[in-house]
Amino acid sequence: MRRSSSETKALILAAARERFAADGYERATIRAIAADAGIDPAQVMRCFGSKDRLFAAACAVDLHLPDLLGTPPGEIAAALVRHFLERWESGETLQILLRTGVTNATAAERMRAVFTTQLVPVAAALTGDPEGAPVRAGLVSTQILGMALCRYVLAFPPMAALTREEVVEAIGPAVHRHLGIES
């Protein structure tokens, strides 16, 4: 059987994302990823060059933050939390960064980049306070990443048991306050 190069790459990338998200960088071996994709380990090397480069490709993350400028100020925080919960539960893209960013320097750098280029600008636009935006975006991150950590990664029972809307009600006000939107 024969595939196009891009097809193979996509196949490998999907398996890699799953493995990296589930096991972290070190325990996700190239052999395991290749086995999941039904492909020879050597093929992975030919397509991506090295494990580092494969990982860098698997780390490409877009938060897909919705346009919240039209949202009523009082509902922005809830919408934000809801968006992240959906993104988190729908796929493993976000889980990669959290699982690997804690021990892998490349992933940590990538997370800082996502924060700076995707989250800070949104906070600046929403608050109309460019100067305070980095801190506000950072505080929002602490609350949202903290919830993801406790709920999905560490699986603290009380947090894992909450429904999605209960989570929105629980941390929405904190996020709202961190954003500091004038109403």
DSSP 82-114: HHHHHHHHH-SHHHHHHHHHTT-HHHHHHHHHH
Residue pair 85/168 in contact by the 8 Å Cβ criterion: yes
Is 39 a binding residue for DNA by CB under 7 A? The answer is yes
Partner from DNA, its own copies, none binding residue 43, C-beta < 5-8 Å depending on class? DNA
10, 14, 36, 51: which one binds DNA (CB under 7 A): 51
The mark string for 90-109 relative to its own copies (x by CB under 8 A, - otherwise) is --------xx-xxx----x-
Q: How many residues bind its own copies (CB under 8 A)?
A: 43
Report the distance separating Cα 178 and Cα 76, nearest Å.
Answer: 12
Half-sphere exposure of residue 132: CA atoms within 13 angstroms, side-chain side: 11
Exposed (0-12), middle (13-18) or buried (19+): which is 74, by Cβ within 10 Å? exposed
Stretch that binds DNA, among 32-40, 86-94, 107-115, 175-183 (CB under 7 A): 32-40
Residues that bind its own copies (CB under 8 A): 23-24, 26-27, 98-99, 101-103, 108, 111-112, 115-116, 134-135, 137-139, 141-147, 149-151, 153-159, 162, 170-171, 173-174, 177-178
